Amino acid sequence: EGQTFSDASIRLTPTGTVSGRIFDEMSQPATGAAVQLVRVVYNNQGRAYQVGGTGNADDRGEYRIYGVPPGQYYLYAGTPPGPIRPIPGAGVVSGARFEALYYPNVPEIERAIPIEISSGSELSFDMTVRRQTASYRVRGRIIDSTTGTAPANVNVTLAYRTFTGGGSFGQGRVYDPTTGVFELQNIWPGSYTVQA
């Protein structure tokens, strides 16, 4: 009480910007392709990934991610696994799907080249992703381990992981209780876990 505080100095670190263009295999704009900057972090479970910025390629294939804190990131472009969903604040989303790649156009993060973003930097990176046109079916059989017969009622879903968590989805009635056979159709490429 009664204390006076003046001449406070607060230093703010300027953020960085990453921009560029995303093309498809025909050198056309990959409109709606998601673009993310991902950094490695460590928590109680070990190595994990954290999204440092997001965007989407516009109708010219251009993207711009701004306000990125300085640090080392991996650039990711394409459609994450699971149903198409908008990335909050990322802009345009189309119904097209694109293979997921890391800069410089490699499928695994272990082969990707990290990008060093410094304070106030503006970097540009272009990538090429292929359109995904073929979907797949996931089919199997469920047996009760106690009785050896098909359970009367089972809910079958596919779970997927993203950098920010994950989710699961199903397709209504996909299980036949008389045979124990299930089939999920129109599944887009990606890494999933079957849950029953």
The predicted pLDDT at position 185 comes to 86
Q: What is the pLDDT of residues 163-174, one digit of tens each?
A: 666 778 877 678
**87-135 residue pLDDT tens:** 554 454 556 889 989 999 998 889 999 999 999 999 999 999 999 888 8
What is the reported pLDDT for 83? Answer: 65
Question: Tell me: the pLDDT tens digits for 8-56?
Answer: 899 888 999 999 999 999 999 999 899 999 999 888 888 888 899 999 9
The pLDDT assigned to 130 comes to: 93
Phi, psi of 109 (to 5 degrees): -65, -25
Give the pLDDT confidence score for residue 170 in this predicted structure.
Answer: 78
Q: Nearest 5°: phi and psi at 177?
A: -70, -15
Tokens of 160: 């997927």
Nearest 5°: CA angle at 91, between 89 and 97?
Answer: 115
Q: Are 77 and 37 in contact (CB under 8 A)?
A: no
Predicted confidence at residue 117, as pLDDT, reads 96
- Closest C-alpha among 54, 58, 60 to residue 77: 54
Span 73-83, pLDDT tens digits = 999 999 877 76
Question: Which tens digit of pLDDT belongs to each residue from 150-196?
Answer: 999 888 988 887 766 677 887 767 899 999 999 988 888 878 889 88
Task: Band the pLDDT of 85: cuts 50, 70, 90.
Answer: low
pLDDT bucket at 64, cuts 50 / 70 / 90: very high
Omega before 70 cis (within 30°)?
A: no
Closest among 145, 157, 74 to 116, alpha carbons compared = 74
Q: Are 15 and 42 in contact (CB under 8 A)?
A: no
Parallel/antiparallel/unpaired status of strands 71-78 and 122-124: unpaired
Give me the pLDDT at residue 86, please: 52
Contact 103, 75 (CB under 8 A): yes
Which pTM value belongs to this model?
A: 0.73
- The length of the chain is 196
Q: Given this model, what pLDDT does residue 173 score?
A: 72
pLDDT, mean over the chain:
87
